[in-house]
Amino acid sequence: MTWRNDQVSQPETEKILEVARECLARPGDFVEMGCYKGDTALLVAGILPGDKRLYIYDSFEGLPEKSVEDVSALGEDFKGGELSVTKREVKERFLRAGLRVPVIKKAWFSDLTDEDMPDRIAFSFLDGDFYESIRDSLKLVGPRMVGGSVMIIHDYNNLALPGVKRAVDEWACGKTVEKSAFQSMMIVRF
């Protein structure tokens, strides 16, 4: 595995791949909400067999504006408009790597509908950084996670991005899912 990512640590990336491999035995496709340059998506695509599809989503206009839930005493970690890359650049990285190009959707998560999502999801990685981005991702992805599938949410334990934890805790309240932590990530087993 070649790790090259300024957003996700190497141990986190290794954990994502370990969990993604486990999920190959589950029915359904693989999803990343917030792919940025595609660093994690390229590695996940590299382990997928032909009968599994990777769906990746991003505004390709960078982060949206923060909401009040994202305000941190630690100050600003990321601002609206940061982390912008084009869809074409991401697609070309897959082609250059000789990998099957994922389904790449350019949209704000709040504009996505059920038709944009695969019916069944075996593995998902949520990495939208802000409260509304994670809340909207959970709304789209949560109902499609199959039994035995796993969702990983990045930055759950990142005090500079408090909206992530808030959105996940609100969503998880009253749900029977198994949660565990790994570095900044929350791993949710369905």
Ligand X SMILES: C[S@@+](CC[C@H](N)C(=O)[O-])C[C@H]1O[C@@H](n2cnc3c(N)ncnc32)[C@H](O)[C@@H]1O
Select the residue whose beta carbon is closest to ligand X and give its number.
34
When asked if residue 104 is in the footprint of ligand X (CB under 6 A), the reply is no
When asked if residue 184 is in the footprint of ligand X (CB under 6 A), the reply is no
Name which of residues 36 to 75 contact ligand X (CB under 6 A).
Answer: 36-37, 39-40, 58-59, 62-64
Q: Which stretch binds ligand X (CB under 6 A): 31-39, 94-102, 114-122, 175-183?
A: 31-39
* Pair of tokens at residue 86: 């084009």
DSSP output for 83-133:
S---HHHHHHHHHHTT-PPPEEEES-GGG--GGGS-SSEEEEEE---SHHH
For ligand X, give the closer residue by CB, 59 or 124.
Answer: 59
Q: Which stretch binds ligand X (CB under 6 A): 2-10, 113-121, 139-147, 158-166?
A: 2-10
When asked if residue 129 is in the footprint of ligand X (CB under 6 A), the reply is yes
Q: Which stretch binds ligand X (CB under 6 A): 33-41, 67-75, 88-96, 158-166?
A: 33-41
For ligand X, give the closer residue by CB, 29 or 129.
Answer: 129
CA 187 to chain centre: 12
Give the binding-site size for ligand X (rule: CB under 6 A): 23
Contact 145, 96 (CB under 8 A): no
Residue 107 CB neighbours (<10 A)? 14
Beta bridge partners of 32: 56, 125
Over the range 46-82, which residues count as b (16 or more CB within 10 Å of their CB) and which as e?
Answer: eebeeebebbbbbbbeebbebeebbeeeeeeebeeee
Q: How far is the CB of 84 from ligand X (least distance, A)?
A: 7
Q: How far is the CB of 42 from ligand X (least distance, A)?
A: 9
Beta bridge partners of 126: 33, 153
- Which residues make up the interface to ligand X (CB under 6 A)? 5, 7-8, 32, 34-37, 39-40, 58-59, 62-64, 83, 108-109, 127-130, 133
